[in-house]
Amino acid sequence: MLTLIICLLPLASTVSVEVGEISEAETWKNLIVDIDNGTLKHVRFAENTDYTKLNLSSFPGLRALEKNSFDNVLDIESLVLANNSFTSLPDFVFSNLTKLKSLSLSDNQISNVRNLFVGLENLQLLDISRNPIRHFGRGHLFSLTKSVRILTNENILWSISTGVFENSFLKDAEELKRLAATQDQGNVKENEKKEQEVEKAEIATAEEPQDQKIVETLSEHTRLKICKSDGIVTSLEIFSKDEELVEGCVQVPVDISMQVSLVELGIKGFQEDWYRLQSLPIVSLDLSNNEIAEITKETLNDLPSGLTYVNFQGNKIRKIWSQVIENDHLNVLNLRNNLIEEIEEGALAKTNLRELYLAGNQLKSLDFVFSLPNSLTVLLANGNHIISIPDGAFSKLFRLNYLYLDDNKIEAVQNDVFQGLVSLLTLTLARNDIKTIGPSAFRGLRTLQTLDLRHNSIHDLRKGTLAELIGLKQLNLSNNKIVKATFADLARSVDSLHLDYNEIDILEEGNFVQTPTSTLSLTGNRISSIMRGAFNLPTLRDLYLNNNTLTTIEGDSYEGLNRLRRLWLSENKISEIRKGACKNLGSLYILDISKNPFQKLENGALYGLNTAFGTSLYIYQNNLTEIQGGVFDDI
């Protein structure tokens, strides 16, 4: 143990604080310090001295404190522990210093301040600058009063709970009582849950041997071989146990889901009567990433009725000819990422396809759609070169649920172009070059739930364009050129509206009425002003206004958001937050004001936020230098 008796040390450095200037030479004079292995055990002043200021900043080797370190200096009013090597401090270490008015913990490595300031009701200044504190949680600053100033220069704060000044001990006690009251009921439910799980496990165990036996039989005894000549498949058949492979033949796998994989085998075409697996319940054939340039009659027409899915993805097919494919049991045809430029009229008419995948080809026209079978439920034609949608193209596809036309070159969507799609659920037109949409373009799409119009060149939507979409839930208009947010006529069914990265600069009264019901995203616009009454959205949960040009938080702007839970205001230009800013935001769980240039959070600035359940205030990457103790109070 090392005991230092420091007397008349000729030190000249000083630490500047608000409550008078304290020199190290002055406070270390006649100071008795008891340090053991970097831990401060006790400190006291020599006899016949009456100091109210204690400065242990930059103290040699000081790394930790004991809980009772300051029991002999209870009358101090100023304590400086700056620029040491503290990483954590004992709970309640300062609690007996009830006369303390100024406390500096700056320039340390302290990451958690919970239970440090209990009892410091006379504290006027707390300096925690330049510490790696990321979060001020509920109760972390409990006992500090409204008059305290908290300095946070060059901090890395990410979040502050609105309950940071509240008594977390009371909440913890209430929580323990609640848990105790429900423990018995919880145990009963847990036992019931366990019993149900046991019953399910017993049933599964009883059923397992039979299923397992089938899988093992297939994996052990079923082998297949494919034979080719110059890339032309001559046969796909069962490979007998004692048989040896001849030249031109290779074994191919069949998995437990009865899918045969013929991937990357250099296949160019098929000979008549090539498929000889009629005795097996094969359901899927994977021919992806081969050299197939054409689908001929031999390719698909003689496949058995149980084989419903064929995958031609990643081949070299350029054209689908008419009068070739005749297969009324094929349900799914995958032609993604080929070189298809044309599908002749009637090419797929003699099928009962349910799903057709044409993404990533070279199609320029949708004329082939007229003759598609009316059994179709999924059509993906995204990633082509389609420039227009012909009138009446979809009139017979009354079963279609999903239509993907994104990543094409469509410039206009004319009136009634989707007529006949009475069962459509999802329509994607993202990443085209759509400039105009007729006022009746979506007429008849009463079942539509998702409409994706991202990344186009839409300037505006005429009134009523979307009004008939009475089943719409998600509408995405991000990355367009919309200037005015006129969406008061949306159907009440819309729960999510995305208008990110448009050119909206002001939100006016009546822009949003009743819908969307859950999420409204306006990220990345130019919004500098939000008029009172812009949001009449009583059920909205999430509002994204990040990356705009707002300079303050106007309380009246957020009237009409009675159930808002999360408000995102990061990356704006908010330089000042005045009292009243949060008067209509009492329902929030999260308020994100990160990456804004404000420097102070003064008393009353965030009054209105709920402190009972602890709203989280996000403030990462900020310029915050000071927080006042009454920031959440009506002051």
With a cut of 60, say whether residue 210 has pLDDT above it: no
Average pLDDT value for residue range 244-253: 90
pLDDT-derived band of residue 415, with 50, 70 and 90 as boundaries?
A: very high
Query: How high is the pLDDT of residue 191?
Result: 46
List, for residues 29-49, the tens digit of each pLDDT value.
678 889 999 999 999 888 766
- The helix (run of H) or strand (run of E) holding residue 221 is helix 168-221
Question: For the chain, what is the domain count?
Answer: 1
Tokens encoding 238: 């069962």
What is the number of residues in the chain? 635
Alpha-carbon distance 535 to 562, whole Å?
10
List, for residues 592-601, the tens digit of each pLDDT value.
999 999 999 9
Which comes out higher in pLDDT, residue 299 or 179? 299
Query: How high is the pLDDT of residue 205?
Result: 39
With a cut of 80, say whether residue 571 has pLDDT above it: yes
Average pLDDT value for residue range 189-213: 43
Query: How high is the pLDDT of residue 74?
Result: 93
Instruction: Out of 93-97, 220-224, 270-274, 554-558, pick the least confident.
Output: 220-224
Tokens encoding 468: 């008939």
Query: How high is the pLDDT of residue 274?
Result: 97
CB 305 within 8 A of CB 265: no
Report CA Rg, the chain.
Answer: 36
List, for residues 385-395, the tens digit of each pLDDT value.
999 999 999 99
In a domain, 87, yes or no: yes
Alpha-carbon distance 564 to 584, whole Å?
9
CB 573 within 8 A of CB 596: yes
Residue position matching structure tokens 């045969």: 260
Query: How high is the pLDDT of residue 181?
Result: 47
Outline where DSSP puts E strands in 534-625: 535-536, 542-544, 566-568, 590-592, 600-601, 616-618
Alpha-carbon distance 509 to 547, whole Å?
22
CB 446 within 8 A of CB 423: no
CATH code assigned at 111: 3.80.10.10
CB 76 within 8 A of CB 97: yes
Average pLDDT value for residue range 331-335: 98
With a cut of 90, say whether residue 588 has pLDDT above it: yes
With a cut of 80, say whether residue 606 has pLDDT above it: yes
pLDDT-derived band of residue 613, with 50, 70 and 90 as boundaries?
A: confident
Cα-based angle 296, 301, 302 (whole degrees, multiple of 5) = 125
With a cut of 80, say whether residue 174 has pLDDT above it: no
**Could you give the percent of the chain with pLDDT greater than 90?**
79
With a cut of 90, say whether residue 217 has pLDDT above it: no
Outline where DSSP puts E strands in 90-158: 102-104, 125-127, 135-136, 149-151
Query: How high is the pLDDT of residue 182?
Result: 45
- State which residues form the domain around 66: 27-133
CB 546 within 8 A of CB 567: no
pLDDT-derived band of residue 454, with 50, 70 and 90 as boundaries?
A: very high
Average pLDDT value for residue range 486-510: 95
In a domain, 577, yes or no: no
In a domain, 118, yes or no: yes
pLDDT-derived band of residue 244, with 50, 70 and 90 as boundaries?
A: confident
List, for residues 434-443, the tens digit of each pLDDT value.
999 999 999 9
With a cut of 80, say whether residue 460 has pLDDT above it: yes
Report the C-alpha dihedral over residues 405, 408, 410, 415, rounded to 10 degrees.
Answer: 0
Instruction: Out of 64-73, 198-207, 459-468, 548-557, pick the least confident.
Output: 198-207
In a domain, 550, yes or no: no
Mean pLDDT of the chain: 88
pLDDT-derived band of residue 241, with 50, 70 and 90 as boundaries?
A: confident
In a domain, 32, yes or no: yes
Q: pTM of this prediction?
A: 0.85
In a domain, 505, yes or no: no
In a domain, 12, yes or no: no
In a domain, 97, yes or no: yes
Alpha-carbon distance 222 to 258, whole Å?
11
CB pairs under 8 A, 24+ apart, for 133-136?
133/157, 134/158, 134/159, 135/159, 135/160, 135/161, 136/160, 136/161, 136/164
Cis before 516? omega within 30: yes
Residue-wise burial string across 346-361, b where 16 or more C-beta atoms lie within 10 A, e elsewhere: bbbbebebbbbbbbbb
pLDDT-derived band of residue 51, with 50, 70 and 90 as boundaries?
A: confident
Q: Which string of DSSP letters, residue by residue, matches 368-434?
A: GGGGS-TT--EEE--SS------TTTTTT-TT--EEE--SS---EE-TTTTTT-TT--EEE--SS--
- The helix (run of H) or strand (run of E) holding residue 333 is strand 332-334
Average pLDDT value for residue range 190-210: 43
